[in-house]
Structure 1
């Protein structure tokens, strides 16, 4: 699992239904299956809607971190190593290969993570997506 997968699991929880084998049925499907893709073109299964800000605000120590604007603080809050190497890997997972760790790169990365969380069913406040 990549860094974004760790972020997603920390916010949404582990999806235990993914690990269970699919139910077998002899009846044909009634509607065609549709694929869902995020902004990077990666296929994903939507999860249930989660109020992201409320969930993150409930994590102990959230009041001491600026997770709403800082990718480093967001990763710290989720107990994920915020090192440059991990942020660079995360940027690569989200489609950016020229990440250098500048302030602009980190702002982009935070917004991109918030957008991906929203794309996966998270209810993200609009001010975190701008």
Structure 2
């Protein structure tokens, strides 16, 4: 899983992940059934399988859109709850390193460079201070774009 995917999973929780997995699980049997139907007579089975297969992606797309729409997770509250359970003070509202630590994710420079690649950072990755500020801003923005309710104190001006 990507680092940003791990961030999303930790913040949006297992419920959204389980809902996202359910449409994929239900799609697999219908695609398998369509594939098995193709093994029969070629003329009618292939035309019968085609609508089934072309119709299969729709529920998955709708299911994923539904999860994103339902997500509307209070990111600030989730992070505050996690911070309350930690035995240390973390400046997760401004620091990507502390945000990653709060989420129990790898906060090493190598991991942050990988996250920078995932989020298409075009700056100098050797200037870690600038990259870190950019990463935090982008992560917060992407959380909001993916249905998270992000409080103003997490947003960068």
Name the TM-score, length of structure 2 as normaliser: 0.64
Q: Distance in 1 between matches of 2:79 and 2:87?
A: 7
Distance 1:3 1:62, change over 3 A: farther
1:68 — aligned with what?
Answer: 93
Q: Distance in 2 between matches of 1:62 and 1:116?
A: 28
1:92 aligns with 2:94: no
Q: Distance in 2 between matches of 1:113 and 1:87?
A: 11
2:6 — aligned with what?
Answer: 6
> Residue 116 of structure 1 aligns to a residue in which SS?
helix
2:20 — aligned with what?
Answer: 18
1:103 — aligned with what?
Answer: 129
Name the TM-score, length of structure 1 as normaliser: 0.77
Bigger Rg, structure 1 or 2: 2
Gaps of 5+ in 2: 31-51
Q: Distance in 1 between matches of 2:110 and 2:76?
A: 26
Gaps of 5+ in 1: 36-43
1:82 aligns with 2:107: yes
Between structures 1 and 2, the one with greater helix share: 2
Over the aligned positions, Cα root-mean-square deviation in angstroms equals 2.6
Distance 1:4 1:125, change over 3 A: same
Q: Distance in 2 between matches of 1:55 and 1:63?
A: 17
Aligned length: 116
